[in-house]
């Protein structure tokens, strides 16, 4: 008999440094006693699917999930780098943008990404309290300007079917909430969680969107692609939010392959995030120039559908700010000089500003006596 996804996660995950050393060799793990501080600062678990994907210690999958002493070296990292708590009017809600809100509905993840922006609270049920959802629902009900709610956490898809159904039903009952979204790494981390029963629940609440999170082409395993296909077959539009990570995907060829594989799995690349300036994850950050180099390697060289927005989520709560390579060489009233993806120059003529025709003279009516 097949294990349930809950049993699979519980029995086959690696959730201790000792188990990691036993699986891959203590020489690859390092000083366990010192690493325990990093694991205590932020939850540690690698889901079965990700354990199976590690080809060798230090590879792009290993880098994302295995603690390192570099997490203890904080230079300019910020604990709450996006000022989410400052924009949290009630527990579990972040309301930064005019017409949408973030709703934290789960404190746990199948695997814990070491670059997590929310590492200050993810994995800790006391910091994402499930007993305080009622105040969040009331806030959403009372704020009619909110038309779009994004469920996050932790990972919402680790909730039980019954709990997810209850939360979605409650949200769909709010008249001004037009869009429901979920952000989840479950299709990557625990594809066994995507079941026909789950899909049947989610499809009741359209318009319903899921943004997945894949960072490397190897993560699009047959099991992950099957899970994504089940969600797509349920009518759920799928997007992907990728984080630019040093040593994982900071290579134009790797990123291009990832975006192309996402499209073939029926997922639209949505964002490439510059790695946030979060304390404990500074060793993952690349330069912004590297991100722009990757965008240049995508734009024009592959389908426009495979080119996501490259953004910085501004430290201090400024929101997502898009970045683009410069394709305009010069511009005046007569023409725009442009450089295309291949580096060739082209000229676009500005429309001529014609002089406006004189208005007809208006005459005063003459009264004939």
Active-site amino acid positions? 96-97, 100, 109, 113, 116, 118, 276, 313, 320
Cβ atoms 182, 198 nearer than 8 A: no
**Residue 310: beta bridge partners?**
272
**Dihedral Cα 187, 192, 197, 201, nearest 10 deg:** -20
Question: Of 209, 217, 331, whose CA–CA distance to 263 is shortest?
Answer: 217
* Residues 313/315/318/320 CA torsion (nearest 10 deg): -10
Q: Kindly give, in sequence order, each residue whose CB lies less than 8 Å from that of residue 270, ignoring residues fewer than 6 positions away.
A: 211, 239, 240, 241, 308, 309
Closest CA to 27 of 61, 4, 56: 56
Edge-to-edge strand order for the sheet containing 268-274?
A: 93-94, 100-106, 148-153, 179-183, 208-212, 238-244, 268-274, 309-314, 319-322
- Residue 42 CA to residue 56 CA, distance in Å, equals 23
Residue 340, C-beta contacts closer than 8 angstroms, at least 6 positions apart: 300, 327, 346
Contact 124/107 with Cβ under 8 angstroms? yes
**Listing from the earlier edge strand, what are the strands of the sheet with 345-349?**
328-331, 335-339, 345-349
Tell me the torsion sign for CA atoms 84, 86, 89, 95.
Answer: negative
Give me the helix-helix angle, 32-41 and 17-24, nearest 10°: 130
- Helix ranges (H only) for the chain are 5-12, 17-24, 26-29, 32-41, 48-53, 60-65, 133-142, 161-172, 186-189, 196-202, 222-233, 252-264, 288-298
**CA pair distance 289, 292, nearest whole angstrom:** 5
């Amino acid at each position: 008999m097949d294990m349930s996804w809950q049993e699979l996660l519980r029995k086959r995950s690696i959730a201790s440094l000792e188990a990691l050393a036993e699986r891959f060799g203590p020489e690859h793990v390092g000083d366990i006693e010192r690493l325990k501080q990093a694991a205590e600062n932020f939850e540690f678990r690698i889901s079965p699917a990700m354990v199976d994907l590690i080809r060798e210690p230090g590879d792009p999958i290993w880098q994302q999930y295995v603690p390192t002493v570099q997490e203890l070296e904080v230079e300019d990292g910020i604990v709450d780098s996006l000022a989410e708590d400052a924009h949290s009017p009630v527990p579990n809600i972040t309301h930064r943008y005019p017409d949408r809100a973030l709703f934290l509905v789960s404190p746990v993840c199948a695997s814990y990404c070491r670059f997590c922006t929310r590492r200050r609270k993810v994995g800790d049920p006391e910091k994402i309290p499930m007993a305080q959802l009622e105040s969040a629902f009331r806030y959403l009900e009372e704020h009619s300007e909110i038309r779009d709610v994004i469920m996050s956490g932790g990972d919402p898809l680790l909730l039980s079917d019954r709990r997810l159904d209850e939360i979605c039903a409650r949200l769909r009952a709010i008249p001004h909430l037009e869009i429901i979204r979920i952000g989840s790494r479950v299709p990557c981390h625990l594809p066994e969680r995507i079941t026909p029963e789950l899909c049947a629940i989610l499809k009741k609440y359209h318009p319903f969107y899921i943004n997945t999170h894949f960072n490397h082409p190897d993560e699009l395993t047959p099991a992950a692609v099957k899970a994504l296909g089940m969600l797509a077959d349920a009518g759920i539009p799928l997007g992907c939010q990728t984080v630019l990570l040093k040593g994982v995907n900071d290579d134009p060829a790797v990123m291009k392959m990832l975006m192309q594989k996402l499209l073939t799995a029926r997922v639209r690349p949505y964002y490439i995030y510059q790695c946030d300036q979060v304390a404990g994850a500074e060793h993952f950050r690349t330069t912004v120039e590297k991100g722009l180099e990757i965008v240049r390697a995508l734009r024009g060289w592959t389908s426009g559908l495979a080119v996501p927005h490259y953004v910085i989520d501004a430290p201090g709560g400024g929101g997502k700010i898009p970045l683009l390579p410069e394709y305009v060489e010069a511009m005046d009233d007569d023409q725009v000089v442009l450089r295309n993806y291949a580096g060739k120059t082209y000229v676009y003529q500005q429309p001529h500003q014609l002089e406006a025709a004189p208005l007809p003279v208006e005459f005063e009516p003459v009264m004939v006596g």
